[in-house]
Amino acid sequence: MNGVANTLAERTALVGYLPVGFPDLPTSIDAAVELVENGVDVLELGLPYSDPVMDGHTIQKATQQALAGGFRVRDVFTAVEAVRARVEAPVLVMTYWNPVVQYGVARFADALRDAGGAGLITPDITPDAADDWLAESERTGLDRVFLAAPSSTDARLAATVQASRGFVYAVSTMGITGARADLDAKARALVARLREAGATGPDTISACVGVGISTPEQVAEVLTYADGAIVGSALVTALAEHGVPGLARTASALSQGK
Contact 205, 167 (CB under 8 A): yes
> Which parts of the chain are beta strand (E)?
13-19, 42-46, 91-94, 119-121, 143-145, 147-148, 168-171, 207-210, 228-231
Is 34 in the active site?
no
CB neighbours of 70 closer than 8 A, spacing ≥ 6? none
CB neighbours of 196 closer than 8 A, spacing ≥ 6? 154
Is 44 in the active site?
yes
User: What is the rounded CA–CA span in Å between residue 13 and residue 219?
Assistant: 9
Active-site pick, 34, 41, 44, 184: 44
Spatial CA neighbour of 199 closest among 228, 144, 158, 171: 158
Active-site pick, 55, 75, 136, 143: 55
Contact 182, 22 (CB under 8 A): no
User: What is the rounded CA–CA span in Å between residue 138 and residue 141?
Assistant: 5
Residues serving a catalytic function are 44, 55
